[in-house]
Structure 1
Amino acid sequence: MSSYSSELSRSQEYLSFRSSVPLRKIVVDADGTKGWKVYDSNPKTIKCPLICLPPVCGTADIFFRQILGLAAKGYRVISAEAPVYWSIKEWCDGFRKLLDYLELDKVHLFGASLGGFLAQKFTEINAHCPRVVSLVLCNTFTDTSVFSYNDSAAVFWILPSLVLKKMVMGNFATEKVDGEIVEAIDFMVERLESLTQSELASRLTMNCINCYVQPQKICHLPVTVIDVFDEYALSNAVREEVYKCYPNAKLAHLKSGGNFPYLSRSAEVNLHLQIHLRQFEDTKYTALEKVTI
């Protein structure tokens, strides 16, 4: 890792997150080498928490503002970063085992970019025995063919780290952006730098290998789509496709926020997450701690 540290990772807010929420490494696979990295807030008595899933370049700590902001309001929020998995099926099997380990029968998922795609695939693959109560999708997609790397995805595993990082960095727009977006990009670049070659190659492989979501298995669930209206890595056509797949979804539009609005516009994103979770408050699927007077 480089010795450079971004402004956000030196901030009081981030340091207080790191000192108050422990990072756990949870091994769920038989070979004992693959550990999920997990931050888990609030009481374990909440059995239907919100689980956040990061994009290709993200580590579990990128959702620190969601964990801090929502935990302060009584929500249980978990951020989960997968070990190296080379296929979506493998990832979904691993995530199911993680939920079993955490003794979570049902969950709400908040996924950004690749995290949003994997959230949809997990929901679809487990449709016969549902584990997902609702979805919040942020700057995400429903079909990997939108990336121009479908044909080369099979060789990502042998490409040097530097080449893979360049591919990801090409999507970080930095023109015409405000200070908070610049801070968010710096923080994410720092996270990207911390990933090993196999971590990055495996994520890019899942991101780009031919695969699409079958929305008919998911669209009956409550879905909120969080989108930004300024520049970000995906095109308008991709956004429209997501809307088409989820015609009944609630749309949460942010005027700006770039690729990482959960960092650069965290107050707005947290508000939309609260609004989304509010519909479950008086049900057994609440992510909120019951306050008894």
Structure 2
Amino acid sequence: MAPVSLTSASVAMAAALFPPLPRPAPGHVGGTAQHPEVAAGGCPRLGARGGRGRAAEAPVLPVPVLLLSPELASRLTQTEFFLNIMGEIKVSPDYNWFRSTVPLKKIIVDDDDSKVWSLYDAGPRSIRCPLIFLPPVSGTADVFFQQILALTGWGYRVIALQYPVYWDHLEFCDGFRKLLDHLQLDKVHLFGASLGGFLAQKFAEYTHKSPRVQSLILCNAFSDTSIFNQTWTANSFWLMPAFMLKKIVLGNFASGPLDPEMADGIDFMVDRLESLGQSELASRLTLNCQNSYVEPHKIRDIPVTIMDVFDQSALSTEAKEEMYKLYPNARRAHLKTGGNFPYLCRSAEVNLYIQIHLLQFHGTRYAAIDPSMVSAEELEVQKISLHSSNEHEEQ
């Protein structure tokens, strides 16, 4: 039997019980006031959908609200009910501001009209070498909303993508090249998370004779699909029902006690996973597990930053070490914690590492930032650095 979505059922009941809610006030992102009964009982909050645990740094209402005693449930405010059911990121002021100000565009570049690219394009259009985000298997374009809000505020042009259904890496690379042609972008910087990181490497490899990738930021990425031990089932994902595919993906999500930000990140990713159809999930899992590996000699001249975490994630230590060997000259951006989705739960650190990576291109034609947002002193320092780097290469 397919697992029933607690969220969809609960929200449907909530809609019947309560009238529409006003938008949460600014500063209401981190949770709601505690009821004395709950605070006294010390009940830790669970993750919104999958029962993911939180560290009990501040006891709040457990998610299965409908299982509470009638007396306690009757004391829930409407906002608390929805925050616990829907997950705090989805109803946060930042996310609502993002959805209301950055339009979602849909573009078709293939002969097949069913292959639709969805993207958010924010920042100055005069920038011809923007930063493009590629999501993981479970992600949609809006999982990078915190990067879009922060980076565009600093003057960067940022594009977050959601790819259509492609069944092999060559087909994806060809479609992505057509999309860049449509957007009139000769070169781009790519930030890829997990599967997105692998596809970013494959695209750089695919275009190595006529380079389209200026640099790579690889977040929890891998270079060889064999690490998942699923190459023998890759060609059968298209036959599986959606609930089975979702179960496969959820098996890689962290479980056990988590801090509030990581629990919220997982809740949000589960919600995004629920929004994907069977063909989308099947194609992404096929790309994730289809027998393939990156050929490093084709992309060795591309500046790379490898971003990973020290705590639990879907990648093994061996997979991380393989990435270090593949890119010995890459910059390393280590996060103490962050799990599978540091761009959601450790966004400030991720945004800082992104800025540090892009700093090397300031003052060049490959800058992803509006020149007016860069100080003259910074440009001068960058020119000296570039000059020293060129002299070192000539020697």
Category of TM-score, reference length = shorter chain:
over 0.9
**Corresponding position of 1:276:** 357
Contact residue 113 and residue 141 of structure 1 kept, 8 A: yes
**Corresponding position of 1:176:** 257
The equivalent position to 1:93 in structure 2, one of 162, 168, 174, is 174
Which protein has the larger Cα radius of gyration, Structure 1 or Structure 2? Answer: 2
Say yes or no: does 1:57 pair with 2:138.
Answer: yes
RMSD: 1.2
**Corresponding position of 1:260:** 341
Instruction: Quote the Cα distance in structure 2 between the aligned partners of 1:43 and 1:168.
Output: 36
Equivalent position SS for 1:9: coil
**Corresponding position of 1:188:** 269
**Corresponding position of 1:144:** 225
Q: Deviation string for 1:190-247 (max 9, x for gaps)?
A: 0001100000000000000100000111121110001100000110000000000000
* Structure 1 unaligned spans of 5+: none
Instruction: Quote the Cα distance in structure 1 between the aligned partners of 2:109 and 2:206.
Output: 19
Say yes or no: does 1:227 pair with 2:299.
Answer: no
Contact residue 53 and residue 81 of structure 1 kept, 8 A: yes
Q: Deviation string for 1:30-84 (max 9, x for gaps)?
A: 1222110000101111000000000000000000000001000000010011111
The 5 A counterparts of 1:40-119 are: 40-119=121-200
Contact residue 39 and residue 78 of structure 1 kept, 8 A: yes
Contact residue 110 and residue 119 of structure 1 kept, 8 A: yes
- Could you state the TM-score of these two structures normalised by the residue count of structure 1? 0.98
Say yes or no: does 1:290 pair with 2:364.
Answer: no
**Corresponding position of 2:43:** none
Contact residue 17 and residue 68 of structure 1 kept, 8 A: yes
Instruction: Quote the Cα distance in structure 2 between the aligned partners of 1:281 and 1:6.
Output: 38
The 5 A counterparts of 1:210-221 are: 210-221=291-302
- Could you state the TM-score of these two structures normalised by the residue count of structure 2? 0.73
> Mean Cα displacement is larger for which, 115-124 or 145-154?
145-154
Contact residue 8 and residue 184 of structure 1 kept, 8 A: yes
Instruction: Quote the Cα distance in structure 2 between the aligned partners of 1:133 and 1:19.
Output: 31
Contact residue 174 and residue 182 of structure 1 kept, 8 A: no
* Structure 2 unaligned spans of 5+: 12-84, 376-395
How many residues align structurally? 293
Instruction: Quote the Cα distance in structure 2 between the aligned partners of 1:228 and 1:15.
Output: 28
Instruction: Quote the Cα distance in structure 2 between the aligned partners of 1:136 and 1:178.
Output: 26
Higher relative contact order (CA 8 A, sep 6+): 1
Instruction: Quote the Cα distance in structure 1 between the aligned partners of 2:88 and 2:234.
Output: 34
**Corresponding position of 1:162:** 243
